[in-house]
Amino acid sequence: MPTQIEQIADQIAAIITTHGADSDAGRTAMDQLLMDHGPKAVEEAGQLALARIRG
């Protein structure tokens, strides 16, 4: 069972690969994650997501 951080990381990776980091849709989705989970969790998950994307 993935942790909450891993689940958020999966969502961030999907946002980045689908919408791009600088698109309006990407920013809106990231804003929603921030509201849902808070900045600390999203920051930690974002680092994990980038590591996964970079391989």
Q: Taking a C-beta distance cutoff of 8 angstroms, is the pair 11, 51 a contact?
A: no
Answer yes or no: pTM beyond 0.75. yes
8-46 per-position pLDDT tens digit:
999 999 999 898 778 999 999 999 999 999 999 999 999
**CA pair distance 24, 54, nearest whole angstrom:** 23
Burial zone of 6 (CB within 10 Å; 0-12 exposed, 13-18 middle, 19+ buried): middle
